[in-house]
């Protein structure tokens, strides 16, 4: 396996007395489309901004593509970033933005940028300030992918877009990934935004990494157990309960187990990615637990 | 990055070029009138006994368009540096931070150090060039009026002549950049920049400038024909203020002293100085006392010494602010 796109150890970020990111240890393998999921305020933006070098960590270390974030032009060139709310210069035209990209990035792919604009049907002379939210996001994405990064980082790229713009944006992103084989990390507070595109998942809750792993592995090791009401402690061995709920007669648990569960009293079902993530999020609402990490 | 710094600065640069062109046209037009006045008054050709010609020249200037031109030009050279600080300096970084566009720029393949260096160089260089041209034009255009009617070392004129406006402008610009970076909001940064700038520039004539070159000292005899005034207080105490200002210098203190060297405070001789006899009698009596003026001043010959020193102070302050901007951008700005 080649070196990870992101490797963080004990990464923390403190704003005054508030801890935005707490002791984050995370390794993301290359060539993946990584979904970073968590509720608002969980520290997603902080983690991504540290990864692209916009923020320095308070403590801990982080390596992105084997280098320290923003440590030099080469490192900057290898990482593309689309910031939250996709900032652009409102007084400058789309063509100015592309010239900006061409002048500030050695690996700039003008043909790719022109092709993208043509597909979007955007007029290059139009000012960025007059674009719709979806168009502005597409412009920001065009800037980020035309620099031909090895890793593309997107912070809540679709949060402010309507469903159609959302789909178009993700289609553009996936076309780029398919064509150029870059790694992608994108965040959202909604798993449904990412479900269709990501093959690796990181769940961040309350400034901590709660879960990280390959989507297929996660789906293959989590089960929903339904059966007659029983004591929560009375679970099969080698199974970890992520979430359990009880009615008077029935118990439902979402569990994690590395081996298949064969219990004649229980009905064992697959869980959807959304249910899985929700289980971890609701678990986090209770007592904090140590982070789980799955390695593939 | 240089291309982009210019692209962002394109509109201000064009406005500045247009403004400088307009000032140049005005100075060319009024400058011809001024040259005609200089020639027709006889000032251009006179030798030694030039008093009448100079008076004639000033008389012509005062009653023509050039009186206003002189004043507007003076005003312009004073307001341009703080305007640069407010409209070029303060928004330079603050507007990026407000709009979040720094996150776009900092994630292109250009380091923050190069980003801030390019911005400071492009806008700071334009600042120095534009204000340098303006001040050079104003200084050249105004030189005869400065010498004959006012004095270029007096505070009102001095700050709009020579090279100090360039120092003021570079200081105002870097001050604006720094406050914008620290406050992160354009409008409060503009207000703060203006307040600090006014304080710093006012402190020069009030406290600093007179120390930039050694003071000259003179004790001419008191000339009652140019006397500014005298005042008789109770108990026979009086004060006299002499009028001579040596060679158009900037007078910092002006006392009237007795032949023994003490400040003259009387006593009043009631025979010559009382409400019943006219002030002329008293004035004449004052003239018989052998009084002298004790004047400390900065002569016009110190103009360039003070200009270099004061410009140096502001350029060093600007360099320190720029260094701070570099350090802050690299290690603190987010």
Q: Is residue B9 part of a domain?
A: yes
Mean per-residue pLDDT for B10-30? 96
Tell whether B107 and B150 lie within a shared domain.
yes
Residue of B nearest to A155 (CA): B103
Test A104 with B4 for CB contact under 8 angstroms: yes
Q: Is residue B131 part of a domain?
A: yes
Mean per-residue pLDDT for B162-171? 98
A214-245: b (≥16 Cβ within 10 Å) or e: bbeebbebbbbbeeeebeeeebeeebebbbbe
Test A81 with B107 for CB contact under 8 angstroms: yes
Q: Which of B3, B101, B108 sits opposite A87 (nearest CB)?
A: B101
Contacts of B100 in chain A (CB under 8 A): 83-85, 87
Tell whether B29 and B146 lie within a shared domain.
yes
Mean per-residue pLDDT for A184-205? 88
| CB neighbours of residue B226 within 10 Å | 11
Task: State how far residue B126 is from chain A, nearest Cα, in angstroms.
Answer: 21
Tell whether B139 and B235 lie within a shared domain.
no
- Residue B105 contacts A where some CB pair is shorter than 8 Å: yes
pLDDT for position A288: 46
- Range(s) of the domain holding residue B281: 222-290
pLDDT for position A190: 78
pLDDT for position B190: 98
- Residue A105 contacts B where some CB pair is shorter than 8 Å: yes
Whole-complex ipTM: 0.88
pLDDT for position A250: 87
Q: What percent of chain B has pLDDT over 70?
A: 99
pLDDT for position A296: 42
- Residue B329 contacts A where some CB pair is shorter than 8 Å: no
pLDDT digits (tens, 9 = 90+) for B65-78: 999 999 999 999 99
In this prediction, residue A289 has a pLDDT band, given cuts at 50, 70 and 90, of very low
The CA distance from A154 to A139, in Å, is: 13
Tell whether B254 and B118 lie within a shared domain.
no
Tell whether B193 and B273 lie within a shared domain.
no
Average confidence score pLDDT of chain A: 88
Q: Is residue B257 part of a domain?
A: yes
pLDDT digits (tens, 9 = 90+) for A59-108: 999 999 999 999 999 999 999 999 998 999 999 999 999 999 999 999 99
Number of domains chain B is built from: 2
Find tokens 């270029």 and name the residue: B152
Tell whether B208 and B82 lie within a shared domain.
yes
User: Is pLDDT at B224 greater than 50 in this prediction?
Assistant: yes
A contact test, residue of B95, B100, B104 with most A CBs within 10 A: B104
Tell whether B65 and B49 lie within a shared domain.
yes
Q: Is residue B296 part of a domain?
A: no
Q: What order do you get walking across the sheet with A151-154 strand by strand?
A: A79-82, A151-154, A183-188, A33-37, A200-205, A208-214
- What is the gyration radius of the CA atoms in chain A, in angstroms? 21
The CA distance from B3 to B7, in Å, is: 6
Q: Is residue B184 part of a domain?
A: yes
Tell whether B143 and B282 lie within a shared domain.
no
Angle at A57 between CA A51 and CA A59, to 5 degrees: 130
Report the sign of the C-alpha dihedral through residues A248, A250, A256, A262, in that order.
positive
Average confidence score pLDDT of chain B: 93
Tell whether B28 and B110 lie within a shared domain.
yes
Q: Is residue B47 part of a domain?
A: yes
pLDDT for position A290: 46
Mean per-residue pLDDT for A164-175? 88
- Residue A129 contacts B where some CB pair is shorter than 8 Å: no
pLDDT for position A65: 95
Tell whether B68 and B159 lie within a shared domain.
yes
pLDDT digits (tens, 9 = 90+) for B282-334: 888 888 888 999 999 999 999 999 999 999 999 999 999 999 999 999 988 88
Q: Is residue B229 part of a domain?
A: yes
């Amino acid at each position: 396996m080649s070196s990870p796109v992101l490797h963080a150890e004990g990464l923390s970020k403190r704003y005054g007395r508030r801890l935005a990111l707490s002791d984050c240890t995370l390794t993301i393998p290359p060539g993946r489309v990584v979904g970073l999921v968590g509720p608002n305020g969980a520290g997603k933006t902080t983690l991504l901004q540290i990864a692209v070098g916009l923020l320095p960590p308070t403590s801990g270390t982080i390596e992105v593509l084997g280098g320290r974030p923003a440590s030099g032009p080469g490192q900057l060139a290898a990482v593309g970033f689309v910031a939250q709310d996709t900032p652009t210069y409102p007084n400058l035209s789309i063509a100015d933005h592309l010239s900006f990209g061409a002048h500030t990035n050695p690996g700039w792919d003008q043909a790719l940028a022109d092709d993208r604009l043509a597909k979007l049907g955007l007029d290059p002379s139009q000012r960025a300030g007059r674009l719709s939210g979806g168009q502005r996001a597409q412009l920001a994405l065009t800037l980020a992918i035309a620099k031909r990064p090895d890793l593309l980082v997107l912070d809540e790229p679709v949060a402010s877009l309507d469903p159609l713009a959302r789909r178009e944006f993700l289609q553009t992103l996936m076309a780029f990934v398919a064509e150029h084989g870059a790694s992608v990390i994108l965040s959202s507070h909604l798993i449904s935004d990412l479900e269709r595109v990501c093959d690796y998942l990181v769940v961040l809750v309350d400034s901590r990494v709660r879960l990280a792993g390959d989507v297929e592995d996660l789906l293959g090791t989590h089960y929903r157990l339904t059966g007659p009401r029983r004591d929560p402690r009375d679970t099969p061995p080698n199974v970890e309960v992520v979430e359990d709920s009880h009615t008077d007669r029935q118990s439902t648990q979402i569990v994690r187990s590395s081996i298949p569960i064969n219990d004649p009293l229980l009905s064992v079902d697959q869980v959807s990615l959304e249910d899985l993530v929700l289980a971890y999020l609701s678990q986090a609402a209770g007592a904090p637990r140590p982070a789980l990490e799955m390695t593939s | 990055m240089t291309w982009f710094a210019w692209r962002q600065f394109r509109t201000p640069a064009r406005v500045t070029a247009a403004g400088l062109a307009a000032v140049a046209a005005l100075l060319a037009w009024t400058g011809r009138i001024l040259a005609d006045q200089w020639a027709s008054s006889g000032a251009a050709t006179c030798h030694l006994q030039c008093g009448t010609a100079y008076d004639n020249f000033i008389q012509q200037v005062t009653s023509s368009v050039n009186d206003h031109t002189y004043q507007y030009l003076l005003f312009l050279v004073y307001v341009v540096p703080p305007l640069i600080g407010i409209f070029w300096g303060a928004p330079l970084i603050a507007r990026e931070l407000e709009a979040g566009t720094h996150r776009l720029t900092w994630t292109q393949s250009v380091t923050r150090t190069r980003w801030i260096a390019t911005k400071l160089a492009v806008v700071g260089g334009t600042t120095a060039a534009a204000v340098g041209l303006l001040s050079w034009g104003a200084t050249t255009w105004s030189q005869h009026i400065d010498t004959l009617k006012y004095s270029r070392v007096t505070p009102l004129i001095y700050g709009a002549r020579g090279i100090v406006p360039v120092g003021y402008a570079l200081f105002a610009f870097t001050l604006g950049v720094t406050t914008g970076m620290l406050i992160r909001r354009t409008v409060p940064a503009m207000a703060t920049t203006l307040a600090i700038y006014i304080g710093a520039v006012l402190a020069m004539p009030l406290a600093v400038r007179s120390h930039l070159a050694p003071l000259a000292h003179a004790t001419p005899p008191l000339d009652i024909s140019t006397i500014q005034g005298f005042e008789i207080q109770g108990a026979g105490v009086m004060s006299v203020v002499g009028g001579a200002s040596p060679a158009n210098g900037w007078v910092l203190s002006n006392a009237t002293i007795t032949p023994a060297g003490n400040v003259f405070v009387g006593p009043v001789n009631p025979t010559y100085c009382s409400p019943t006899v006219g002030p002329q009698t008293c004035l004449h009596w004052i003239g018989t006392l052998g009084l002298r003026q004790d004047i400390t001043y900065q002569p016009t010959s110190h103009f360039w010494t003070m200009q270099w020193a004061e410009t140096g102070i502001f350029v060093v302050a600007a360099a320190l602010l720029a260094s701070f901007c570099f350090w802050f951008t690299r290690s603190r700005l987010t």
